[in-house]
Amino acid sequence: MRFFDRLARGVILGGACVGLAATAAGAATEGRPPNFIVLFCDNLGYGDVSPFSPTVHRTPNLERMAREGMKLTHLYSASGVCTPSRAALMTGSYPRRVNLHKNARGGGVLQPVEPIGLHPAEVTIAEVLKARGYATGMIGKWHLGDQGPFLPTRQGFDSYIGIPYSDDMTPREGQVWPDLPLMRNETVIEAPVDRNELTRREAEDAIRFITAHRDRPFFLYLPHAMPGSTRAPFASAAFRGKSRNGPWGDAVEELDWAAGQILDALKRLDLDRHTLVLWTSDNGAPRREPAQGRNDPLGGWGYTTAEGGMRVPGIAWWPGRIPAGTACAELMTLMDVLPTFAGLAGGALPPHPIDGRDVWPLLAGRPGARTPHEAFFYYQTDQLQAVRSGPWKLYLSLPARRPAAAKGAPEKKAPPAKAGGAQPARLYDVVQDAGETRDLAAQQPEVVAALMRHAEAARTELGDVDRPGRGQRPAGWVSDPQPVRLGRTVP
């Protein structure tokens, strides 16, 4: 397609992955497939950490990680909110494909005691790697269903310790939500868990897991609970009140510490050259009144389809294999993690269609490597709102937009179309204009038309507000969901 060749060339000029190709393929792992660690923050914005944007937050460990690895500057979550973002990461599929783009009442994320969750038939990264002989551990916030059939231990993780959903989902009037549970595998071991200690304990549990499995390939998924969705995020005593940006800054600085502890442990155990670590976030910073985290230079906020909602900071680290001190501006998504890890591990892809692609050529810094994605789709719950191809992002013309999908908030219906008109289409070059300030729709009608064709293809496959997609698979369902309470082992 000639038109997209031109788009692709535009990306090359705009800055492809910079750096030397990794050398000595295979030598670093001595015939053993690599370990994988995913450090996944909650609601931490692109502008919250110094490798990506000037900030008052002190993040020296992430600076070091970026110096030793590759910054991913066009890495996308498949959603602006938690549950769909995590569903996409775990399955390599758009949230609509696995039907976790909304909760049972149409809201943005799963809540405690939800009847739905990630379908047991879905194949997670953990299942792909477990089948290759990996030890698989998860530490942290799951948020893909709190009922027995949906837990990490039923989705390929040998061990799990963490909270089953967001740390702001505490008992409240009119709900049967239990005290915030800390689970070990399928049993609640503490409730309410002390949220101040979550990040510290996650780091310590991670180091225990890494140490225990140092002699075999392992996959550790560590979705931190912080900074999360509360008005005042939590941090342990060593960090509380120490940053220049209140509780948000304290939480971010402790997350930086946690990353440093884990990288240090890998070096101490002589595992650094055997381990690919991805550090990233599930979506952009959402809070604006008052503002907490930041997404600049990206426009907009978390919980939306703006760049600031869905483009996330990412650092890929694997000494000797991922070129140090480099950056990649090619489009990647969190859905690519599953096929990329599967490829490196020699694992089999799921038997059903997925949307992620193997981006190892980009991470390895291979000259001329380009994004495998001809288009990327921005959904807000059930609604396709925007599409990107090459440097271009088109906000579709819609009668009305689904509003920001705040977690834990009462669900709102989409507002009716405003009298006098639809939301007009807008087109941005998000390579040159990450703030989404210069609408070029009028000047680029052929680009608009091409992106609309991509959008139509996505609607057919994944669906939209007015139609199911032919490629959708069901979410999991239980008929009688129960609160996850202290001392209780889920059925």
Pick the closer one to Ca ion by CB: 11 or 110. 110
- Taking the complex as a whole, how short is the minimal distance between the CB of residue 411 and Ca ion, in angstroms? 17
Residue nearest to Ca ion (CB): 82
Contact between 282 and Ca ion (CB under 5 A)? yes
- Taking the complex as a whole, how short is the minimal distance between the CB of residue 432 and Ca ion, in angstroms? 28
Pick the closer one to Ca ion by CB: 82 or 329. 82
Rounded-to-integer distance, Cα 50 and Cα 55, Å: 6
- Among 82, 119, 224, 454, the active-site one is 82
* Angular region, 10: left φ>0, alpha ψ -120 to 50, beta rest: alpha
Q: Compute the half-sphere exposure of residue 286: CA atoms within 13 Å on the CB side of its CA.
A: 26
- Applying CB under 5 A, the span of 281-289, 345-353, 436-444, 475-483 interacting with Ca ion comes to 281-289
- Taking the complex as a whole, how short is the minimal distance between the CB of residue 146 and Ca ion, in angstroms? 16
Is 213 an active-site residue? no
Contact between 280 and Ca ion (CB under 5 A)? no
**How would you class 477 by CB atoms within 10 Å of its CB: exposed for 0-12, middle for 13-18, buried for 19 or more?**
middle
| Paired residues of 315 in beta bridges | 71, 279
DSSP per-residue letters across 99-121: T-SS-TTS-SS--TT-SEES-TT
Pick the closer one to Ca ion by CB: 43 or 304. 43
CB 329 within 8 A of CB 16: yes
Contact between 283 and Ca ion (CB under 5 A)? yes
Contact between 167 and Ca ion (CB under 5 A)? no
CB 94 within 8 A of CB 378: no
Provide the 10 A C-beta neighbour count for residue 153.
18
* Angular region, 376: left φ>0, alpha ψ -120 to 50, beta rest: beta
What CA dihedral angle connects 405, 407, 408 and 414, to 10 degrees?
Answer: 10
Give the residue among 133, 303, 108 at the shortest CA–CA distance from 218.
133
- Applying CB under 5 A, the span of 5-13, 35-43, 318-326, 385-393 interacting with Ca ion comes to 35-43
- Taking the complex as a whole, how short is the minimal distance between the CB of residue 94 and Ca ion, in angstroms? 17
- Among 74, 143, 224, 454, the active-site one is 143
Pick the closer one to Ca ion by CB: 42 or 122. 42
Give the residue among 260, 112, 255, 268 at the shortest CA–CA distance from 180.
112
Binding residue (CB under 5 A) for Ca ion from 43, 111, 243, 304: 43
Q: What is the DSSP letter of 274?
A: G
Pick the closer one to Ca ion by CB: 134 or 301. 301
Pick the closer one to Ca ion by CB: 42 or 167. 42
Contact between 127 and Ca ion (CB under 5 A)? no
Binding residue (CB under 5 A) for Ca ion from 17, 39, 78, 82: 82
- Taking the complex as a whole, how short is the minimal distance between the CB of residue 291 and Ca ion, in angstroms? 16
Total residues binding Ca ion (CB under 5 A): 5
SS3 state of residue 192: coil
Pick the closer one to Ca ion by CB: 29 or 230. 230
Q: Are strands 392-395 and 426-429 parallel, antiparallel or unpaired?
A: antiparallel
- Taking the complex as a whole, how short is the minimal distance between the CB of residue 141 and Ca ion, in angstroms? 9
Rounded-to-integer distance, Cα 303 and Cα 322, Å: 31
- Taking the complex as a whole, how short is the minimal distance between the CB of residue 115 and Ca ion, in angstroms? 22
Rounded-to-integer distance, Cα 28 and Cα 51, Å: 27
Contact between 83 and Ca ion (CB under 5 A)? no
Pick the closer one to Ca ion by CB: 225 or 364. 225
Give the residue among 349, 387, 389 at the shortest CA–CA distance from 370.
389
| Side chain identity, residue 340 | T
CB 370 within 8 A of CB 14: no
Contact between 42 and Ca ion (CB under 5 A)? yes
- Applying CB under 5 A, the span of 38-46, 174-182, 332-340, 359-367 interacting with Ca ion comes to 38-46
- Applying CB under 5 A, the span of 39-47, 136-144, 308-316, 338-346 interacting with Ca ion comes to 39-47
- Taking the complex as a whole, how short is the minimal distance between the CB of residue 284 and Ca ion, in angstroms? 9
Q: Between residue 292 and residue 321, which ones bind Ca ion under the rule CB under 5 A?
A: none
Is 82 an active-site residue? yes
Pick the closer one to Ca ion by CB: 42 or 307. 42
Q: What is the DSSP letter of 348?
A: P
Q: What is the DSSP letter of 288?
A: B
- Taking the complex as a whole, how short is the minimal distance between the CB of residue 95 and Ca ion, in angstroms? 13
Q: Between residue 399 and residue 438, which ones bind Ca ion under the rule CB under 5 A?
A: none
Give the residue among 110, 113, 90 at the shortest CA–CA distance from 100.
110
Give the residue among 179, 161, 154 at the shortest CA–CA distance from 169.
179
The site for Ca ion (CB under 5 A) is made up of: 42-43, 82, 282-283
Residues forming the active site: 82, 143
